[in-house]
Amino acid sequence: MVDWLPVLVVGLLALILIGLAVRYNGLVQARVRTQEAWSGINVQLQRRADLVPNLVEAVRGYARHESVTFEAVAQARGSVQRAASPVEATVANLFLAQALGQLFAIVEAYPELKASRSFAALMDDLADIEEKIAFARQFYNMNVLSLNTRIQTVPDMFYARMFGFSTFQFFDADEGADVVPHLTFAPPVAVTPPADVPGA
Interface contacts to other proteins, rule CB under 8 A? 33, 37, 40, 44, 112, 115-117, 120-121, 128, 131-132, 135-136, 138-139, 142-143, 145-146, 188-189, 191, 193-200
CB of 66 to other proteins, least distance (A): 22
Cα four-point dihedral sign 179, 180, 182, 185: positive
Cα distances from 171 to residues 10, 29, 51, 86, in angstroms, run: 46, 20, 23, 12
CB of 58 to other proteins, least distance (A): 14
Helices (H), 83-116: 86-107, 111-115
CB of 188 to other proteins, least distance (A): 6
CB of 5 to other proteins, least distance (A): 36
Q: Which helix (H) or strand (E) holds 84?
A: none
Buried b (16+ CB within 10 A) or exposed e, 83-122: beeeeebbebbebbbbbbeebbeebeebeebbeeeebbeb
Distance from C-alpha of 76 to C-alpha of 100, rounded to nearest angstrom: 9
CB of 193 to other proteins, least distance (A): 5
Residues in the chain: 200
